[in-house]
Amino acid sequence: MKWSSALLGLAGLASTVSAASSVRRSVHRDHETNDYYVLHLNPETSPDQVALHLGLVHEGQLGELDDHHVFSSDKTEHDVVKRELSEHKRRKRDLSGVTGSSALDGVLFAQKQVLRKPWEKRVVPQRNPTSPALQVRADATAAKPEVVAKLNQVANTLGIKDPIFKEQWHLINTLFPGHDVNVTGLWLEGITGQNTTVAIVDDGLDMYSDDLKPNYYAKGSYDFNDKGPEPRPKLSDDKHGTRCAGEISAAKNDVCGVGVAYDSKIAGLRILSKAISDADEAVALNYDFDNNLIYSCSWGPPDDGRSMDAPGIIIRRAMLNAVQKGRKGLGSIYVFASGNGAAQEDNCNFDGYTNSIYSITVGAIDYQGNHPYYSEKCSASLVVTYSSGGGEAIHTTDVGTNACYNGHGGTSAAAPLAAGIFALALQVRPDLTWRDMQYLVMLTAVPVNTDDPGWQKTSIGKYYSHTFAYGKVDSYGLVEMAKTWKNVKPQARYYSPWVHVHQAIPQGDVGLAVSVEITEDMLDEANFERIEHVTVTMNVEHTRRGDISVDLISPDNVVSHLSVTRKNDNIAAGYEDWTFMSVVHWGEFGVGKWTLVVKDTIVNEHSGNLTDFHLKLWGECIDASKATLLPMPKETDDDDHDITSTTTLQASTTTLAPGGPATDTSVAAHPSDHPDRPVKPTAKPTSATTSTNSQGASPAKPTSGSGGSETEHETAPSATSSHTSWLPAFMANMSTKKQIWVYGALGAIIAFCLGLGIYLYLARRKRLRNNSRDNYEFELLDEEEGEALNGGGGGGLGSHSEKGLGGRKGRRKATRGRELYDAFADGSEDEDEDDMEGESSGSGSHGVRRFSLSLDEDDEDDSYDEVDADRRRTYHDKSAEHLPTTTTTANTNSTRRQVVDEDEAQHHVIGDDSDDSEDEDGDTQPSRNARLL
């Protein structure tokens, strides 16, 4: 205490020095004259005390984020907080821990705010900028009389007199009947968006437009670029947000057209018109989050096919905060445009907003239902809806008192349309959670262009295409299902341990495949019932990022193309702790072998290695009473790779001779040297693995997508026969071979497990001892991490592609963190988390996996019944099939769980061409793996 009072004195001096600056205290940040810092404090730590110690002005809490505070100082070059905290640490170290407590001990995280370039709007890319505005075709003579009659009838019945309503083909398409959002039936029922508010996070919203004024919601609006309550457009280019707003909430009056939810309220949050800090964006994404129900976001990292960017840590916390607390706890609905970079081979899994599990990612189709050349695809995309393409575009409100626009487009126009439709569902069912909304969207999406070869049938009988996601939004179908929807249980999660691979990725059509076995026990322990999202966080070292592609194959043989090659992506880096996401496995049970296939398809001088990865399953829990909230993300979350690095399992190439036992082969076989021949098997006694895989020479021919202009490295539409047809054969061809190898592998695994298990157990005990240190956030504040603090943290968003370039910075950080921690006497109060430990208690006794999806329904109207005791069914009884694997982990107890999980990792290089007729499919087609790869 003596020490802290001495500090207080010092701080008092400092604060008098900065007393003048307190005059400037204001909720409106002024980056011209001030610097701003976001500090995450212990709940017990007083922000005013911290401000005193650091000589800063406490500006208040950061938006809705508890325990996060904004502090300001006069503008200086350096990071005064970092310096102070380092100094503080040094003093503590010098005193060898014989110190009292200081308010600075309560600083868990600090980040100086830097202004970065705003994100890019998802405006439709101009292919020919000199061409005149897109032609209005809705009044063409080709209009279908019966649809025109319907349009007139709807207009008359509802009293719609808006002059361009008849041009708004996305509401009623008179030229191509059926190619619209099918909303008018809802309007006739009085479902028009009442009692709902959508916030347009964009470049402004012209609330003085006569079309938007009646629905404008001032309390939920703010201008974060020019600091003020009105989000009015100010730059000549600030038209995007207003056009998006019109699609949702243009009033039924005599101006332009109507919004899809024309009685909804509309708010504007202006963030795209000037450089902005992470802090301001975080506040915007939580702004009035009890009343702004949906955030419509038509922006993100550049669509240049090179960028790979994710929101910074503060923004990620804000988004998690919103799904946990927004809408009074039901969760804010984030809607993001998938991106317009498809022609550049961009993919929405390289964008940390669209591939967040908290956002609904929306792609585009044109007025004939085709894929427009620009609309990005990815396994994180949930749905598509109408936008520009094929010579038409979206007709909506424009900036001005009475101005309309007929050329709105890009995925920018698709996302707000979807957001407006989701608002209709919220009018009917205001109690839907953010996850309920995703279920409804997924279940009621209607496949389009079903001739496209990209469709595959998923485990629950839905169809998924990476181009068209689950299909297009059908407003009527969505709201109808919403009316009787039973809320899903809380979210659960299962994390696999890091799987250490450290293998070269062979170039060419072969791939490096690594499998992880997940058992029913593991999921039961995690209180995990069924999958919604799957994420894979991974590290790849490479000299050209655009060469890499990654597929994830589930136990049900459903395939996610997590990553694709990108012609423009010449960055000399791989992936660093990048998280890919998939919604393709929605409804799957999750038990069995998950295989990650990493390829370097482009044969050139560039090559790389797969370092490690981490699989996470997100879904519905088994027992709602045991569900736990996900802790806030931290920058150190992925720093646990190295903790078990000494236990790295050897990946190995393997072959399975027809009918023969699994044979391990050495990874050193350099499969890329002879891509057309089987890898030569060599005994590798220490290998943990065994596996299957056969395959081979089947090249991954780029399949051209429906859009025509884009060619994608669509790694051979593996997903089994269901890929090329709508045959339900998919279920039948599961796993006969898998069983063989599983049994065959068992002996080897068990033997290895015993040895390795003991070793890992010891390693884990050691890790546990160090655990709190690893979570300690102070390492960020160390001198050496200065760049990380300013650039990698606050500026990470602006400096595109930085994520991939950082080398092993993260690892070093973790190490530094431990060292620094060692300088402290007492433990950090940091929010500690060990989800697996936390969740694994007491839920391991669920013998039979309950599953309530209707598996026998092949039509598009799959109804999704809530778990219902008497209708429970075992999920296609696969659990039995996977039971053998549980014997390898039967000894699993909660303390040794991670160790055992680790042993489940199985690796193999896919590189031989043994035409394996014993493929699991057991059919006459080329082996599954061959087609896969």
Ligand X SMILES: *[C@@H]1O[C@H](CO)[C@@H](O)[C@H](O)[C@H]1NC(C)=O
Residues at the site binding ligand X, with contacts judged by CB under 6 A: 182, 185, 194-195, 427, 446, 474, 476-477, 504, 541-543, 608-609
Minimum distance from CB of 294 to ligand X (Å)? 16
3-state secondary structure of 353: coil
Q: Which of 240, 561, 585, 723 is catalytic?
A: 240
Q: How many helices (H) and strands (E) does the chain have?
A: 21, 33
- Residue 658, Cα to own-chain centre: how many angstroms? 40
In the complex, which residue's CB is closest to ligand X? 185
Rounded Cα–Cα distance for residues 278 and 296 (Å): 18
Minimum distance from CB of 879 to ligand X (Å)? 36
537-571 burial, b at 16+ Cβ within 10 Å, e below that, comes to bbbbbbebbbbbbbbbbbbbbbbbbbbbbbeebeb
Phi first, then psi, for residue 533 (nearest 5°) are -110, 155
Please state whether beta strands 592-600 and 548-553 pair in parallel, antiparallel, or not at all (unpaired): antiparallel
In the chain, the largest separation of any two C-alpha atoms, in whole Å, equals 87
3-state secondary structure of 246: helix
Q: Using alpha carbons only, what angle is made at residue 764 by residues 512 and 686, rounded to the nearest 5 degrees?
A: 45
In the residue annotation, 240 being an active-site residue is answered as yes
Question: And the tokens for 570?
Answer: 């010449």
Nearer to ligand X, 182 or 507 (CB): 182
Minimum distance from CB of 176 to ligand X (Å)? 13
C-beta atoms surrounding 624 within 10 Å: 12
Minimum distance from CB of 540 to ligand X (Å)? 9
Q: Which of 79, 202, 638, 916 is catalytic?
A: 202
Question: And the tokens for 808?
Answer: 């092993």
Strands (E), 694-833: 703-704, 711-712
Nearer to ligand X, 569 or 785 (CB): 569
Minimum distance from CB of 916 to ligand X (Å)? 29
DSSP 788: I
In the residue annotation, 800 being an active-site residue is answered as no
Nearer to ligand X, 521 or 541 (CB): 541
In the residue annotation, 412 being an active-site residue is answered as yes
Nearest to 40 by CA among 7, 15, 62: 62
Rounded Cα–Cα distance for residues 584 and 588 (Å): 9
Rounded Cα–Cα distance for residues 806 and 450 (Å): 42
Nearer to ligand X, 65 or 151 (CB): 151
Nearer to ligand X, 316 or 327 (CB): 327
Nearer to ligand X, 430 or 827 (CB): 430
Minimum distance from CB of 748 to ligand X (Å)? 26
Question: And the tokens for 303?
Answer: 């669509």
Rounded Cα–Cα distance for residues 260 and 427 (Å): 13
Q: What is the DSSP string of 412-457?
A: HHHHHHHHHHHHHHHHH-TT--HHHHHHHHHHH-B---TTSTT-EE
Residue 315 bridge partners (DSSP): none
Phi first, then psi, for residue 156 (nearest 5°) are -65, -45
Evaluate whether 300 touches 332 at the Cβ level (below 8 Å): no
Nearer to ligand X, 587 or 608 (CB): 608
Task: Find the helix or strand (DSSP H, E) in which 575 lies.
Answer: strand 575-582
Nearest to 240 by CA among 119, 353, 371: 119
Nearer to ligand X, 108 or 473 (CB): 473
Minimum distance from CB of 446 to ligand X (Å)? 6
Evaluate whether 354 touches 383 at the Cβ level (below 8 Å): no
Nearer to ligand X, 546 or 608 (CB): 608
Minimum distance from CB of 70 to ligand X (Å)? 34
Rounded Cα–Cα distance for residues 617 and 639 (Å): 19
Minimum distance from CB of 476 to ligand X (Å)? 3
3-state secondary structure of 365: strand
Q: Which of 381, 412, 475, 718 is catalytic?
A: 412
Minimum distance from CB of 277 to ligand X (Å)? 34
Nearer to ligand X, 274 or 542 (CB): 542
Nearer to ligand X, 203 or 541 (CB): 541
Contacts of 800 (CB under 8 A, 6+ apart): 301, 302, 306, 307, 308, 309
Minimum distance from CB of 651 to ligand X (Å)? 13
Rounded Cα–Cα distance for residues 804 and 573 (Å): 6
What amino acid positions are annotated as catalytic residues?
Answer: 202, 240, 412
